[in-house]
């Protein structure tokens, strides 16, 4: 994995564990020679990931919609900063420029990015690993919900392993590096669906 899209929040929650996690992710990826592709913001966890990766000598590619540039939240210190017209173009660039997706805590936008990465993997638009870092149990309920979708049958057995989960970054990155793509829906026959 040469580059990972890092999905996370632009907020700074009161509990310091979230900003500490973002800094750890940015620094660790840079130290491993893995470039960061992210939302291009300078605030919250986004800014912490970018700043830590840059401080450690890493590559940081920001992709930000022009409306957010106008709101003065763009991180001007990125290795590259791409200004795009909207969220669809932004997420497409995440996919095109990255070898995988790493989600750390965040809000609605982070969930949108995570579920799209999983959905696109199921369909066959990409075959890249989708990792979820479960910092301080933040995603426990989401993981349980994903398990329920699998158990009920809304997520096919062939796709149950697309979301790769761990509470430790080193362990999660190792699982992502070992990921073997599953049969996408586009390659399945009607009887398999």
Chain segment 76-101, per-residue pLDDT in tens: 999 999 999 999 999 999 999 999 99
pLDDT at 57: 98
Average pLDDT over residues 165-191: 91
Q: Return the CATH number at 39.
A: 3.40.50.450
pTM given for the model: 0.94
Nearest to 60 by CA among 44, 79, 76: 79
Q: Which helix (H) or strand (E) holds 86?
A: none
- Residue 97: which domain range? 3-192
> Is the predicted pLDDT of residue 190 greater than 80, yes or no?
no
**Contacts of 190 by beta carbon, 8 Å cutoff, 6+ apart:** none
Task: Output the DSSP codes for 176-192.
Answer: HHT--PPPPGGG--GGG
What percent of the chain is modeled with pLDDT above 70? 99
Spatial distance between the Cα atoms of 155 and 16, rounded to a whole number of angstroms:
34
What is the total count of domains within the chain?
A: 1
Cα-only R_g, the chain: 16
Spatial distance between the Cα atoms of 111 and 104, rounded to a whole number of angstroms:
10
What six digits make up the tokens of 131? 């990792």
Please, which pLDDT band fits residue 193 given cuts at 50, 70 and 90? low
pLDDT at 183: 87
Chain segment 21-63, per-residue pLDDT in tens: 999 999 999 999 999 999 999 999 999 999 999 999 999 999 9
């Amino acid at each position: 994995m040469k580059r990972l899209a890092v999905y996370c929040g632009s907020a700074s929650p009161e509990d310091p564990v979230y900003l500490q996690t973002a800094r750890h992710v940015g620094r660790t990826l840079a130290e491993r020679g893995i470039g960061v592709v992210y939302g291009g913001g300078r605030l919250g966890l986004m800014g912490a990931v970018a700043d830590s990766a840059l401080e450690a000598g890493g590559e940081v590619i920001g992709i930000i919609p022009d409306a957010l540039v106008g709101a003065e939240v763009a991180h001007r210190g990125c290795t590259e900063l791409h200004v795009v017209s909207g969220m669809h173009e932004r997420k497409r660039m995440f996919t095109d420029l990255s070898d995988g997706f790493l989600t750390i805590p965040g809000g609605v936008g982070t969930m949108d990015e995570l579920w799209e990465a999983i959905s696109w993997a199921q369909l066959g638009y990409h075959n890249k690993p989708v990792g979820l870092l479960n910092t301080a149990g933040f995603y426990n309920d989401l993981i349980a919900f994903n398990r329920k979708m699998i158990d009920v049958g809304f997520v096919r057995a062939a796709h149950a392993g697309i979301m790769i989960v761990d509470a430790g970054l080193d362990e999660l990155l190792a699982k992502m590096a070992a990921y073997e793509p599953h049969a996408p829906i586009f390659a399945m026959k009607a009887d398999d669906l």
